[in-house]
């Protein structure tokens, strides 16, 4: 009997040490990727976005393609008929099908709901447990997956982030909701410090003379 407990204790200790090592490595890789992304003056991404829920009738599956360019705290997002431009403390939602522009202003950080780079890169820095997932070879690239479990929410079961090991660029992000939803963001192309038009991060009212503008 004492020998049995000795073996069991050793196995439990070994598993605990492995879990701690996995947690440390996973968080370190996530932080390294965040630092790498923040080091660029600007970036541009082309991505595919999928939202699905196969637990409802009829099942819901939505696929969209989009692009986003980011510079500092400003960004320009395009997603199938919708544009969003963040300039300083203002956010411009451009609804091309409705010929409407909705303008929001932020007086403080608590009101800021924009997709600023700092929010994207730091949103997983706390409130989650971390562990390494598997690796996958995709188009000659090694993708390391990190699995995150939220600590204080019942709406999200888990999140899995794919990071390319050599460049430390984010390759994918997948989130499983407790209600059966699965959201997937896949980066199809990534450019660091791309050449963009000088006015790409500005909103020019003259370009939307026929649009209804509300603010």
Per residue in 149-168, pLDDT (tens digit) is 888 878 889 989 999 999 99
What is the pLDDT of the chain when averaged over all its residues? 83
Radius of gyration of the chain (CA): 21
- Number of domains comprising the chain: 1
Average pLDDT estimate for 95-108: 86
User: Does 118 have pLDDT greater than 60?
Assistant: no
CATH code, domain with 75 = 2.50.20.10
The residue among 25 and 73 whose pLDDT is bigger is 25
Mean pLDDT of 123-149: 88
CA-based end-to-end distance of the chain: 74
Neighbouring-strand partners of residue 181: 53
Per-residue pLDDT, 122? 59
81 band by pLDDT with thresholds 50, 70 and 90:
confident
Which of 149, 166, 128, 179 is CA-nearest to residue 29? 166
The band of 17, judged by pLDDT with boundaries at 50, 70 and 90, is: very low
User: Quick one: which H or E segment has residue 129?
Assistant: strand 128-138
pLDDT greater at residue 2 or residue 177:
177
Range of the domain at 135: 2-214
Taking a C-beta distance cutoff of 8 angstroms, is the pair 66, 47 a contact? yes
What's the CA gap between 18 and 12, in Å, rounded?
10
User: For residue 117, is pLDDT > 50?
Assistant: no
pLDDT in tens, 42-53: 999 999 999 999
**Average pLDDT of span 53-76:** 90
In the predicted model, is pLDDT for residue 110 greater than 80? no
């Amino acid at each position: 009997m004492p020998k049995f407990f000795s073996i069991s204790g050793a196995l439990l200790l070994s598993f605990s040490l492995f879990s701690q090592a996995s947690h440390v490595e996973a968080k370190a890789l996530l932080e390294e990727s965040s630092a790498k992304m923040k080091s660029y003056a600007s970036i541009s991404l082309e991505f595919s976005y999928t939202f699905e829920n196969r637990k409802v009738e009829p099942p819901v599956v939505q696929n969209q393609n989009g692009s986003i360019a980011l510079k500092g705290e400003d960004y320009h997002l395009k997603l199938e008929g919708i544009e969003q431009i963040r300039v300083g403390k203002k956010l411009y939602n451009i609804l091309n099908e409705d010929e409407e522009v909705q303008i929001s202003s932020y007086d403080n950080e608590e009101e800021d709901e924009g997709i600023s780079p700092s929010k994207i890169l730091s949103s997983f820095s706390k409130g989650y447990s971390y562990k390494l997932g598997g690796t996958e070879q995709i188009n000659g690239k090694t993708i390391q997956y990190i699995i995150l479990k939220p600590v204080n929410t019942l709406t999200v079961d888990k999140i899995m982030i794919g990071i390319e090991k050599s460049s430390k660029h984010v390759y994918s992000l997948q989130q499983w909701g407790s209600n059966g939803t699965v959201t997937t963001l896949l980066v199809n192309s990534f450019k660091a410090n791309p050449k963009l038009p000088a006015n790409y991060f500005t909103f020019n009212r003259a370009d939307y003379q026929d649009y209804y503008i509300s603010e």
